[in-house]
Chain A
Amino acid sequence: GENVEQHPSTLSVQEGDSAVIKCTYSDSASNYFPWYKQELGKRPQLIIDIRSNVGEKKDQRIAVTLNKTAKHFSLHITETQPEDSAVYFCAATPPGYALNFGKGTSLLVTP
């Protein structure tokens, strides 16, 4: 089955800096790559996703890049704010299967 590795497990940045979280996947058939944000005690919520027919997608301060050849994808958050502090999960799925999640990155943005 699909195996998703996520790095780093913790990340601390100063407000206004950029944050980058990286994930690799094992199944070359995977074609959908969402990113979820989970605040303490809350449900995971989708913040951005990318499908295998594009290499990059941007939504305001958040962007995701996908390298299918290398089987890795990354989340980029620019101009970080304290409210960006949360745990971020990447996921991947081949067609017809459920999402496989990484172990998460705990992001702390300090003022």
Chain B
Amino acid sequence: EAGVVQSPRYKIIEKKQPVAFWCNPISGHNTLYWYRQNLGQGPELLIRYENEEAVDDSQLPKDRFSAERLKGVDSTLKIQPAELGDSAVYLCASSLYSLTGIGNTIYFGEGSWLTVV
């Protein structure tokens, strides 16, 4: 079974340029997450989807970041314009929705490494 697939793996852009990351979750997983991981830090949630609905985007910097999951499967995260401080690894993850209210295993993709110069 394929895991969470992300692209591109690496991206170098100049500040003020736009960038987009794509994620395809594990088949059947209706919950999709975008996390950002700065060097030497733990992942921090940007946005969480249940199917096509964004149920938690409180940590997403909405002035420059946007995300979509139109058909409830794959997702795109966009940054426009990028700033130097956006350099990080952008991790997509997915899980099954928990009917019991107790968390299910979250599976991560390999991440998209962004460098803004």
Binding site for B on A (CB under 8 A): 4, 6, 31-32, 34, 36, 42-46, 49, 51-52, 89, 91, 93, 95-104
Binding site for A on B (CB under 8 A): 33, 40-45, 48, 56, 91, 98, 101-103, 105-111
Q: Which 3 A-B pairs have the closest CB atoms?
A: A32-B103, A101-B42, A95-B101
Most A CB within 10 A of own CB, among B43, B109, B110 = B43
Q: Name the B residues within 8 Å of A51 (CB-CB).
A: 102-103
Q: Name the A residues within 8 Å of B101 (CB-CB).
A: 31, 95-96
Q: A89-B43, A104-B41 are in contact. Are A99 and B106 (CB under 8 A)?
A: yes
Q: Name the B residues within 8 Å of A97 (CB-CB).
A: 56
The CA of A96 and the CA of B55, in the complex, are separated in Å by 10
Beta-carbon nearest neighbor of B45 in chain A: A98
Contact A43 B103 (CB under 8 A): no
Contact A103 B42 (CB under 8 A): yes
Beta-carbon nearest neighbor of B105 in chain A: A46
Most B CB within 10 A of own CB, among A31, A51, A96 = A96
Q: A32-B103, A96-B101, A98-B33 are in contact. Are A43 and B41 (CB under 8 A)?
A: no
Q: Given A44-B91, A96-B101, 7 more contacts at CB 8 Å? A: A31-B101, A32-B103, A46-B105, A49-B105, A95-B103, A98-B48, A101-B43
Q: Name the A residues within 8 Å of B44 (CB-CB).
A: 101
Min CB–CB distance B3 → chain A (angstroms): 8
The CA of A46 and the CA of B108, in the complex, are separated in Å by 9
Task: Give the contacting residue for B110; candidates A31, A43, A100, A101; CB below 8 A.
Answer: A43
Q: Name the B residues within 8 Å of A32 (CB-CB).
A: 102-103
Contact B109 A46 (CB under 8 A): no
Q: A99-B45, A101-B42 are in contact. Are A42 and B102 (CB under 8 A)?
A: no
